[in-house]
Structure formats: C-alpha cells, structure tokens
Amino acid sequence: MIFGVSYYPEITPETEWAADLDRLREAGFTVVRVGEFAWSAFEPREGEYHFEWMDRFLDAAQARGLSVVLGTPTASPPAWLIAQYPQILVQLPDGVRLGYGERRACCVNSEIYRQFSVEIAARLGDRYGRHPAVIGWQIDNELIGPERPRLFECHCADCVWRFRQWLKRKYPSPQAVNDAWGLRFWSLEFSDWGEVAPPLRYRACPGHALDYHRFYSDSLAEYLRLQYEALRARVEARQFVSHNSTAVFDRGIDHRSFARTLNAVGWDAYPGAASAGHGPNPAATALAHDWFRSMLRRPFWIWETTPAAVHDAAFFAEMRARGAHAVLFWLWRTHRANMERGSRSFCDFDGKPYAARLRQVRQLRERLAAVAPSLPSPSPRAPAALLFDPDNVRAEHRLERRPMPYLEGVIRAYLPFWRHGVATDAAHPGDDLTGYRLAIAPGLRLMDEADARALERFVRDGGVLLIFGPAAHLDRHGVYYRRWGEPLSGLLDGVVQPETLPTEGVEIVTSAGENFVCRSGDAEIIRAPNDADILARFRSGPHAGSPAAFTRVVGRGHLFYAATSACAELNRRLARPATERAGLEWVEHAFDDVGVLVEPNGRGRWIFNHGNAPARVLGVEVPPRDFAFLASSAAGE
C-alpha cells in the first residue's frame, strides 16, 4: 500500500523543504500531494505566473525519489479574481453572495470562472506534464465538501442560463416541463423558457427540485471534465488525472458521474465522515469504500485521512481490504498561521517528527504489507450488490430531517451484511446486475419502471433480491404512481395505503415468535402476494396486523421484502436467509462494532474490530481497534 502525505510548500520556508522531504521519506512516505490551494502563489496577479518555486520543489522531491500528486488550485480562487469578476461568486438560494474569505466561493457554472480554471490547469499541465516526479493530478479539491450549506447550489445568472439549456435538452417545450412537474398547482406554470428559474424555496415543486439537483450534479461533473480535458491534452499518459471526492452523500451529488471522466478515483476518508450525521459509523465508511471501488472497478485512493487515526488499525485494514491501494495523510506538518493550524500532523511547528506516531504508521504499513501485499486490478466482482441511487437523496433533499431517512435506511440495510462477512459492490438500480447472486435495494422510494423491471428480471433469472420499503412510490419526476409499488407488481401485491407511517416504538413479531421494537423510520402497509411466506408482522401501532416482511419464490430466484428498514433485528433476520439462499457465507458473531469481510476472490476473511473491547470471531481474539486476517488455508479450507 502506498503511504503519502499532504504538504504545502507555498506556506513553508523554502530553507526547510529539504529537511521535511528527507524526514518524510525516511518515515516511509513515498507520495507527496501538493499545490491544490496555491493559486495566489502560482498567479499573484491576473496573467502573471510564478512556477519557479514549484519547479524547485518538484526537483527536490525528485532528487529523493518521491512521487508527487499535483493539484489544480481552483478550490481557492485568489482575491484578484474575485475582486475583478464578482459575478463569478456563488449566489445561495436566499440571495446571499459568497465572497472573499473562504474556499469554494465561485460557481462552477460561471463561464468566467470556468475559463480561468481551465487556463491555470492548462498552464500547470504544460509546465509539469512531463516532470518525472509527477505521477498524477488532482483536479480542484472536494467539489462538495462538508463545509458547504445544505442548499449549497448556486443560483447565479450563469446557473439560470445553463439550467434552461439543460432543460431544453430534456423536454421539448416549457409546457412539457409544466406537465412533468405538475406546475398548474399554485399557478407555477411557465409559458416561455425565459421564465424558468432555479427552485428557490424549500417547498419548491418536487419535480423542479429534482431536476435542479440533477442539473447541478451534472454541472460539477462538467466542470471536472473541462479541467480533465485541459490536462489530458498536455500531460503524459502515465500521469493519471483524479479528484478527491468526499463521502458527502446527502446533497444528491452523483460521485459516479465524476468518475466517468477520471483515470483514478478516491475519497477523503476521515473517521465518521461518511456517516451523514450518524456519528462515527464504520459501516458507513465501509460502504463509501465499496462505492468508490465499484465506480471504476479498480483500486482507489484515500486522498486524505487524519494522522490522529493511526492508532486505529481496524480503520486502515478496512480501507485496504475494500480496495484502497494508497492512503495519504492530511497533513505532514501543521503551520502556525491560518485557519487549519489546529490540524493533526506528523510533526511539530519546527518540522520535528513525533516519533510515536511515525512508529505506528510504520507498524501499520508492515502489517498490511504482510497480509495484503497487492490488490488485483480490475477489482474482483463482489457476490452481492448494494443498490444506491442519488435520485432518492434528491427526492428528500429539502426535508428538514437529518440524517435523511433514505441514507439512514441504506446504512441500516447494509449493516448486517457488513457485520457478517458479505462482500458487496455498490451499484445503481439501473445497472446490469448479471453476475451478482444477491442484490440489496433499500429505500428506493423513487424508482422508474425500467429499474423495477430490471430488478424483477434479476430475480426471475435466479438472483436473490432483498427490498426494504418504502419502494417505488415515485417516478423520476417525483410524481406518485397511482398505486404505490405499482412498478414492482410482478414482485409485490402492492402498497395498501398511499402513506408511509412512522415506526418509532412499533412492535414486530416474527414467524418464529420473536418480538422486536422498531426505531424511528417509515413503514409501508403492504399486502403480501398469496404465495408469499410471511416472515414477520407488525404487532402494534397503525400497522398492526399487516406484514412487516415476507419472502417468495419468483421465477428461478427469491424475493425478500420488508415494509421498513427501521428494525435492526428484523433486518438481520432477513439478511441471513437471503445470504444463505444466495449460497454465500454468513459469519455469525454477536459484536455490534465488528465487521467481517469474506474476500470475493476466496483468499481469506478479514475481521475488523471497531469496538472498544476485545472480540472473539471465527475463533480468533481481535483486540479493540484492531484487525485480523485469516488466510483461507488457515481457516481450514
């Protein structure tokens, strides 16, 4: 596994670079990530470029055998750009314009900002596209970061214009837009393209909001593509072009569309960052690893994590096991000035390394090299697929509730599989699922008919499908189906009432007589098909008597359907038979914070103990915050 660090030569005295590079090299780091915020150092005034300092830095790295990933600095536009072209600033829905003073102040749809971004990327590409130390590029930095407000999308004049163009490609006329979204209500109809505006209010029409979220996600991908093309045309083929995504999944961003234009993907895996408000949640982090690995089906980068995590071997083992071929720490050295000076690093202000922290990194590196010396590429297909659809985030985006019900359901559905060994890829419900034995479809409230048909085909052809409701209530315009669940009628008899009901405190009884209580969430009132085997019923609340879960044979496959994902115990009781029906191994244990991964290539099993107490799993005692790898032969095969 490659180990590397972020470093900021532009804020470090040049006289200290050599010692820093020697020390980090000696500590075993081989990659340095630089430049992603250095726009004002590269171009202090419009058109005046200064690259000599970076030339010297790269040569110093090269002399020490270090590889460099170079960032394009567009996440931090300099003051001159903002002062001279204030129209490039993001305009939030409430009319507030961002301004000088933070990162990400400029709109990716602004033509002027796009041109300046492409220009600086091209200049860097011309200058360093052949530099032997540069192995790759990172475009921008965290296009969507946790720092941006929830309704983060810009509404500036360029956005309005591009949104209209985007809609014109999708709909033949403004009348078609009115019909698709249902705009006659409240007299929101458009009579001309020139009236079409972004959705400003929280209670904007759902179809309108959905399309704006999609448009904005496409705009981000387009912005990446422009820089990608500028670089790709200039840099050697051996240099990859990437972007550091975040696992911010609650904005309706399609990270996968970013990947389609890039040569490598990766994300900034800070402990707990992926959990969208759930607190540190190792399963959510694992799911993000699965998601990024599945995008290009290749080993991925961890572009950033914190040195504060180095004591947590389970955290690093899990990223490796799920396909990370590199981990870069943020950052090597903290600085005395600036707003991120409190960050964790490997050295003190003078650049003197903390010996204990580096010892921990070394141990980590050695242990991982011993159990997972290399990763196959392409990554082997996992036997199971977890279906995730950003449209379902978009459909809930304007809810006040955080965490979002959809994301909560996704993580709850994933949890038992994460705990008990089932390797999963992340896929979109519209993907070809051929080759998977098991598919898990949590909370696809918005589901179009083509996706529903594909799911049905998957089961008829012999797959095992586990659906957690709410499912198939809305079409892609955010319009309700006449009968909820209708697109899934080949699998399900339908949802009885077009309402989801809250589950907090509602009791469930399984066919084996076990009683469980639901947590907060939503449940459907469903009717099970006649040939279904009812696995659980609601025992109390407005759902009393109706099925909570059933299973049935469909074609050559099996369907498991749960009306809710709000009962963790029920989820587990469905996940196990679904796994076993799919012919996959289920590793039983009783530890909430322990994840197990059976490697899809049959090499062995990983146990990750993310808890604070030792855990005995598969006959092995795993200390807290630690891991074990059992090679298949050692596991008695």
Residue positions annotated with a catalytic role: 142, 304
Within a 13 Å sphere around the CA of 73, how many CA atoms are in the beta-carbon half?
23
CB of 146 to ligand GAL, least distance (A): 7
Candidates 49, 80, 145, 218: give the one binding ligand GAL (CB under 6 A): 145
**330 lies in the binding site for ligand GAL (CB under 6 A):** yes
CB of 294 to ligand GAL, least distance (A): 22
* Cβ proximity to ligand GAL, 49 vs 354, nearer residue: 354
CB of 138 to ligand GAL, least distance (A): 10
**8 lies in the binding site for ligand GAL (CB under 6 A):** no
* Cβ proximity to ligand GAL, 141 vs 609, nearer residue: 141
Q: How many residues does the chain have?
A: 637
Distance separating alpha carbons of residues 59 and 128, to the nearest angstrom: 11
CB of 99 to ligand GAL, least distance (A): 19
Contact between 598 and 555 under an 8 Å Cβ cutoff? The reply is: no
Report the DSSP beta bridge partners of residue 242: 138
* Cβ proximity to ligand GAL, 268 vs 599, nearer residue: 268
Candidates 141, 242, 275, 379: give the one binding ligand GAL (CB under 6 A): 141
**Contact string (CB under 6 A) for ligand GAL, positions 288-317, x = contact:** ----------------x-------------
* Cβ proximity to ligand GAL, 331 vs 532, nearer residue: 331
Of 570, 508, 575, the residue nearest 537 (C-alpha): 508
Place of tokens 């000076």: 341
CB of 141 to ligand GAL, least distance (A): 5
**142 lies in the binding site for ligand GAL (CB under 6 A):** yes
Residue type, 536: A
* Cβ proximity to ligand GAL, 339 vs 590, nearer residue: 339
Candidates 340, 461, 580, 592: give the one binding ligand GAL (CB under 6 A): 340
* Cβ proximity to ligand GAL, 140 vs 599, nearer residue: 140
Using CB under 6 A, which residues numbered 229 to 268 contact ligand GAL?
A: 268
Name the token pair of 615: 């855990």
Distance separating alpha carbons of residues 547 and 544, to the nearest angstrom: 9
CB of 5 to ligand GAL, least distance (A): 13
Choices 139-147, 389-397, 459-467, 474-482 (CB under 6 A): range interacting with ligand GAL: 139-147
Distance separating alpha carbons of residues 446 and 392, to the nearest angstrom: 6
CB of 97 to ligand GAL, least distance (A): 23
Distance separating alpha carbons of residues 42 and 511, to the nearest angstrom: 68
* Cβ proximity to ligand GAL, 270 vs 458, nearer residue: 270
Alpha-helix runs per DSSP H in 260-404: 282-296, 313-321, 355-371, 390-396
Instruction: Give the count of residues interacting with ligand GAL (CB under 6 A).
Output: 8
Within a 13 Å sphere around the CA of 605, how many CA atoms are in the beta-carbon half?
25
**Contact string (CB under 6 A) for ligand GAL, positions 203-232, x = contact:** ------------------------------
Contact between 322 and 606 under an 8 Å Cβ cutoff? The reply is: no
Distance separating alpha carbons of residues 61 and 49, to the nearest angstrom: 22
Contact between 268 and 304 under an 8 Å Cβ cutoff? The reply is: yes
Using CB under 6 A, which residues numbered 458 to 517 contact ligand GAL?
A: none
| DSSP codes joined into one string, 309-339 | GTT-HHHHHHHHHTTEEEEEES-SB--SSST
Residue type, 295: M
Contacts of 487 (CB under 8 A, 6+ apart): 447, 448, 449, 451, 452, 453, 472, 481
**Contact string (CB under 6 A) for ligand GAL, positions 378-407, x = contact:** ------------------------------
Per the omega criterion (within 30 degrees of 0), is the bond before 378 cis? yes
* Cβ proximity to ligand GAL, 59 vs 340, nearer residue: 340
Place of tokens 């110093």: 60
CB of 103 to ligand GAL, least distance (A): 8
DSSP state of 526: B
* Binding-site ranges for ligand GAL (CB under 6 A): 141-142, 145, 268, 304, 330, 340, 343
